[in-house]
Amino acid sequence: MSSKKIIQVNEKVPVKLLVPLSLQHTFAMFGASVLVPIIFGIDPSIVLLMNGISTLLFILITKGKAPAYLGSSFAFIGPASIIIANQGFAYAQGGFVVLGIIGCLLALFIRRVGTAWINIVLPPAAMGAVVALIGLELAGNTVQGGSIGANLMTETASSQDFIVFFITLGVAILGSVLFKGFLSTIPILISIVVGYLSAAAFGMVDFTPLMETSLFTLPHFQWAKFDVNAILTMLPVLLVLTSEHIGHQVVTSNVVGHDLIKDPG
């Protein structure tokens, strides 16, 4: 890393890197952000729209000091799945709304009392464990068939799924070490392209939905419904989200060389 030029947050990305790095980040976040609504059985487009709006707000509020994309959190999957199964998604959505409001209040509280307590209550070892557990809990979903639909959680992975998985992962790992020059900045983008071409070569890609879909469509909006039991079921997620978000800020701080906990913008 020390041998590569670091583009700081307040600097402009060179034009030749701007588009490929943007595409790489888009593809890197896309899988996780879309998988959550697929598991919930809702329209992924509304989630992507809210991700985009929240990211723009985050960049505006932090005055551009904290480079981050706000995507879907997997911390919601457990409690939201229970609420959806028993009451329907609208009540889970109500839980999201209340949790968001309480999260804003918590943020205002932290702004008032300061951040010194964070290292005591949430040391790096604890935050790292929380983020790692979320990832490990979801590892099975990534190789459980890969189909987008109601059978996502019931399919079993085929040998072709594993081959494409290892090809994609292998290119990403080897590329981050072996690629030189311009290619060394986009190993994830290259691995995704290679993985997609591999899936197409195995006949795993169905272009029919793409050809039948309109170029522009409106996301599906709906009203949230509120229930005390659903809200109480969702509330513990706030602890995980707090740890997760602070952990992300700590990691980003190390990358950009600026303490985003003390000065997030």
Where do the domains of the chain lie? 15-145+235-255+261-265, 158-205
More confident residue, 47 or 138: 47
pTM of this structure: 0.72
Give 224's contacts (C-beta < 8 A, 6+ positions apart): 90, 91, 93, 94, 96, 97
Please tell me the predicted confidence (pLDDT) of residue 146: 47
How far apart are alpha carbons 144 and 158 in whole angstroms?
A: 8
Phi, psi of 72 (to 5 degrees): -80, 135
Residue 142: pLDDT band by 50, 70, 90 thresholds? low
Q: Is the pLDDT of residue 257 over 90?
A: no
How far apart are alpha carbons 30 and 182 in whole angstroms?
A: 23
How far apart are alpha carbons 79 and 112 in whole angstroms?
A: 30
- Kindly report the average pLDDT of the chain as a whole number: 81
Across 86-90, 197-201, 255-259, least confident range: 255-259
Cβ contact 224:96 at 8 Å? yes
Cβ contact 113:256 at 8 Å? no
Q: Is the pLDDT of residue 45 over 90?
A: no
Please tell me the predicted confidence (pLDDT) of residue 149: 47
Q: Is the pLDDT of residue 155 over 70?
A: no
Amino acid at 72: S
Instruction: Give 39-46 contacts, CB < 8 A, sequence gap 24+.
Output: 39/77, 39/81, 39/141, 39/152, 39/153, 40/80, 40/81, 40/84, 40/89, 40/92, 41/84, 41/89, 41/150, 42/89, 42/220, 43/219, 43/220, 45/217, 45/219, 45/220, 46/219, 46/220, 46/221
Average pLDDT over residues 121-126: 72
Q: Is the pLDDT of residue 134 over 80?
A: no
- Tokens of residue 53, six digits: 């709006």
pLDDT tens for 65-81 read 888 888 888 888 888 98
Please tell me the predicted confidence (pLDDT) of residue 143: 56
Cβ contact 188:30 at 8 Å? no
Please tell me the predicted confidence (pLDDT) of residue 215: 82
Cβ contact 233:119 at 8 Å? no
Average pLDDT over residues 115-128: 73
The count of C-alpha atoms lying within 13 angstroms of the C-alpha of 53, restricted to the half-sphere facing its C-beta, is 6
- CA distance to 44, 72, 195, 204, per residue, from 40 (Å): 10, 12, 26, 24
Q: Is the pLDDT of residue 145 over 50?
A: no
In a 3-state reduction of DSSP, which class is residue 90? helix
Across 24-33, 43-52, 125-134, 228-237, least confident range: 125-134
How far apart are alpha carbons 255 and 248 in whole angstroms?
A: 11
Please tell me the predicted confidence (pLDDT) of residue 151: 46
pLDDT tens for 166-192 read 998 899 888 888 888 778 778 888 898
